[in-house]
Structure 1
Amino acid sequence: MQPRDPRTSQFIRSSMAREMLDAETEHRLALAWRDQRDEAALHRLIEAYTRLAVSVATRYRRYGMSLDDLIQQGNLGLMRAAEKYDPENGARFSTYAAWWIRASMQEYVMRNWSVVRTATNAAQKKLFFHLRKTLIKLEDGEIRREGLSRTIARELDVPEEQVEIMLGRMSGQDLSLNVTQNGEEDGRDWMDALEDDTVATEAQVLNDLEAQRRRALLHSAVQELPEREQRIITERHLSESPRTLAEIGVDLGISKERVRQLEERAVTRITKAVQEAARVEVPA
Structure 2
Amino acid sequence: MAHYGESADVLRTFTAQANRYPMLLPEQEAQLARDWTERQDRRAFDKLVRSHMRLAVKVAGKYARSGLPVADLVSEANIGLVKAVQRFDPTRGFRLATYALWWIRAEVQSFVLHNWSLLKGGNTATLKRLFFNLRQTQRKLGIHDRVMSDAEAALVAQTLSASIEDVREMEHRFATPVSSLNVAVGEDGDHEAIDLLADETESVEERLAEKGELTVRRALMKDALTQLGDRERHIFAARNLAEQPVTLERLAQHYGVSKERIRQIESGAYKKVVRRVRSQVEAVPTLPPNLPPPLALGRRTGAMAMA
Match of 1:27 among 27, 30, 35: 30
Matched, 1:166 2:170: yes
Preserved CA contact (<8 Å) 2:131 2:170: yes
What does residue 276 of structure 2 align with?
231
5 and 153 in structure 1: CA distance in 2 versus 1, 3 angstrom threshold:
closer
Task: Give the CA deviation at 1:132.
Answer: 2.1
143 and 115 in structure 1: CA distance in 2 versus 1, 3 angstrom threshold:
closer
Preserved CA contact (<8 Å) 1:119 1:128: no
| Percent of aligned pairs with the same amino acid | 30
Task: Give the CA deviation at 1:66.
Answer: 1.4
Match of 2:155 among 151, 154, 178: 151
In 2, Cα distance between the equivalents of 1:152 and 1:29?
Answer: 46
In 1, Cα distance between the equivalents of 2:145 and 2:91?
Answer: 51
Aligned to 1:17, the other structure's residue is in SS state coil
Preserved CA contact (<8 Å) 2:56 2:104: yes
Deviates more, 1:154-163 or 1:90-99: 154-163
In 2, Cα distance between the equivalents of 1:118 and 1:86?
Answer: 39
Preserved CA contact (<8 Å) 2:10 2:71: no
What does residue 131 of structure 1 align with?
134
Preserved CA contact (<8 Å) 2:130 2:170: yes
In 2, Cα distance between the equivalents of 1:14 and 1:143?
Answer: 41
161 and 18 in structure 1: CA distance in 2 versus 1, 3 angstrom threshold:
same
Matched, 1:241 2:292: yes
Unaligned runs of 5+ in 2: 179-225, 229-271, 281-288
Task: Give the CA deviation at 1:99.
Answer: 1.3
What does residue 53 of structure 1 align with?
56
**1:196-275 mapped onto 2 (5 Å cutoff):** 229=273, 230-232=275-277, 239=290, 241-242=292-293, 243-244=296-297, 246-250=299-303, 253-254=305-306
Aligned to 1:167, the other structure's residue is in SS state helix
Preserved CA contact (<8 Å) 2:77 2:104: yes
30 and 249 in structure 1: CA distance in 2 versus 1, 3 angstrom threshold:
same
Deviates more, 1:45-54 or 1:160-169: 160-169
What does residue 103 of structure 2 align with?
100
Task: Give the CA deviation at 1:147.
Answer: 1.3
Task: Give the CA deviation at 1:91.
Answer: 1.1
* Offset from partner CA, 1:21-66 (integer Å, 9 cap, x none): 1222212211211121111110000000000111112211111121
Match of 1:114 among 117, 139, 149: 117
Preserved CA contact (<8 Å) 1:126 1:241: no
159 and 96 in structure 1: CA distance in 2 versus 1, 3 angstrom threshold:
farther
What does residue 261 of structure 1 align with?
none
28 and 73 in structure 1: CA distance in 2 versus 1, 3 angstrom threshold:
same
Preserved CA contact (<8 Å) 1:157 1:244: no
Greater relative contact order structure (CA < 8 Å, 6+ sep): 2
134 and 7 in structure 1: CA distance in 2 versus 1, 3 angstrom threshold:
closer
AA of the residue aligned to 1:156: L
Unaligned runs of 5+ in 1: 175-224, 256-284
Match of 2:19 among 7, 16, 20: 16
Preserved CA contact (<8 Å) 2:135 2:145: no
Structure ID, larger Rg: 1
In 1, Cα distance between the equivalents of 2:86 and 2:146?
Answer: 51
Preserved CA contact (<8 Å) 2:102 2:291: no
AA of the residue aligned to 2:107: S
* Offset from partner CA, 1:249-277 (integer Å, 9 cap, x none): 246x227xxxxxxxxxxxxxxxxxxxxxx
